[in-house]
Structure 1
């Protein structure tokens, strides 16, 4: 079983879930498309979704490339920390954007760890 691929799929599903929650917030607060402002609670849900997209751009390639060079379970485990971090980020940002830090760190640290693992793995294989 390729745990790295499972984590990658879960990250994309998480992004779609956050999108669904934006749609619900849009309906709840009466924000008509294409507007992306008009209610602070809607704007928080929207920003979480967009920030998750911004994070996915670095996370997914790093996860998949690192998974080529390092043990599947370790790389997937780092990816799970990212997923938990995204949920925590959402919860904290929705409650109070100023308190989003722990969730943000649990997103960024795994991504940079995976980027480093991907780079070291690729460089080591290239040098061999």
Structure 2
């Protein structure tokens, strides 16, 4: 594995851990006992941003690894870095009801799409060369 891909992967794990910590803190602040997933708006926003991040990471990580394995790892790492920064911005804007999260969402989605296209291109090219 390329070191930049490993770095983006580990930073994604740290993002997921941070989201988990935010939900734990929000549970305490809003008095929402586990396993409840509903409560005051502040808690629900925090919980949803964690779930949205996990859902996105589930698609992102295999796309990142495939793109890196079958194409240019440095390019995959760049797209991965964009995804990561956009997801952090998405989380920050999601937690603030007054802010729009559209731009970070679109950036993260485009970075994910770029990784999928890069991975598909690399896999197709590899299959054609066989």
Q: Answer whether TM exceeds 0.5 for this pair.
A: yes
Q: 1:93 is matched with which residue?
A: 94
Superposed CA offset, 1:26-69 (max 9, x none) = 10111111111111001000000000111011100000010012
For 2:25 and 2:8, how far apart are their aligned partners in 1? 25
Q: 2:13 is matched with which residue?
A: 12
Q: Could you say what secondary structure the match of 2:39 adopts?
A: coil
Using structure 1 for the length normalisation, give the TM-score: 0.94
CA contact (8 A) 1:2 1:72 kept: no
Q: 2:63 is matched with which residue?
A: 62
Q: Which runs of 5+ in 1 are unaligned?
A: none
Q: Which runs of 5+ in 2 are unaligned?
A: none
How far apart are residue 74 of structure 1 and its match?
Answer: 1.5
Asked whether 1:51 is paired with 2:52, we answer yes
Q: 1:120 is matched with which residue?
A: 121
Please say which of residues 102-111 and 91-100 is displaced more in the overlay: 91-100
How far apart are residue 16 of structure 1 and its match?
Answer: 1.2
Q: 1:110 is matched with which residue?
A: 111
How far apart are residue 97 of structure 1 and its match?
Answer: 7.4
For 1:51 and 1:15, how far apart are their aligned partners in 2? 10
Please, what is the CA RMSD of the aligned residues?
1.3
How far apart are residue 70 of structure 1 and its match?
Answer: 2.3
